[in-house]
């Protein structure tokens, strides 16, 4: 992936500014991000045994709802994100090994700017929700890394989009 030569959220005087996307073409865009939640062995064993149910309810189901809400509100959380029409959101949460849950969030839109921040926000908030649902079992749960897996649309494509490659 080619690195940008300048930061995009600064004006000519170096002050923070939202990027003006009005001249960009409206195109289909998608992004996939992932985040992991790592549990201590005893906590992971309890979660496997309970089918990922906690005293607060279904961990995966609640995290999917939270991630979906977060995607839709990204522009309210990240100052220079544009409010976007979201065409689709998919969150998948699966065990990776015995002690880690992987959260994958894919977001689609047809607009002038991409949805990388929305996908990252969805994955991260879903991970935070898993932590919240399970923290009664341990505060040694670790979240991360959160990272962009791929994006499509705009100036250049990068990596893989879940369900597309």
The CA-based diameter of the chain, rounded to the nearest angstrom, is 57
Q: How many residues does the chain have?
A: 165
Half-sphere exposure (CA, 13 Å, Cβ side) for 138?
Answer: 15
Contact between 31 and 37 under an 8 Å Cβ cutoff? The reply is no
Q: Which of 11, 94, 132, 165 is catalytic?
A: 132
Contact between 119 and 31 under an 8 Å Cβ cutoff? The reply is yes
Q: Mutual orientation of helices 59-72 and 116-134 as an angle, nearest 10°? A: 150
87 part of the active site: no
Contact between 146 and 38 under an 8 Å Cβ cutoff? The reply is no
By DSSP bridging, strand 100-111 and strand 27-38 are antiparallel
Query: Residues with catalytic annotation?
Result: 132
């Amino acid at each position: 992936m080619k690195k940008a030569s300048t930061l995009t959220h600064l004006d000519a005087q170096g002050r923070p500014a939202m990027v003006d996307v009005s001249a960009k073409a409206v195109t289909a865009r998608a992004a996939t991000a992932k985040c992991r939640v790592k549990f201590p062995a005893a906590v992971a064993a309890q979660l496997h045994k309970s089918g990922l149910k906690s005293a607060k309810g279904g961990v995966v189901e609640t995290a999917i709802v939270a991630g979906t809400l977060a995607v839709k509100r990204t522009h309210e959380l990240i100052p220079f994100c544009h409010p976007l029409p979201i065409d689709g959101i998919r969150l998948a949460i699966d065990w990776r090994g015995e002690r880690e849950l992987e959260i994958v969030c894919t977001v689609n839109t047809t607009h002038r700017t991409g949805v990388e921040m929305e996908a990252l926000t969805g994955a991260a908030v879903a991970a935070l929700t898993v932590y919240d649902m399970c923290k009664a079992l341990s505060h040694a749960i670790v979240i991360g890394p959160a990272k962009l897996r791929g994006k499509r649309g705009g100036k250049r494509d990068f990596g893989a989009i879940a369900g597309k490659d």
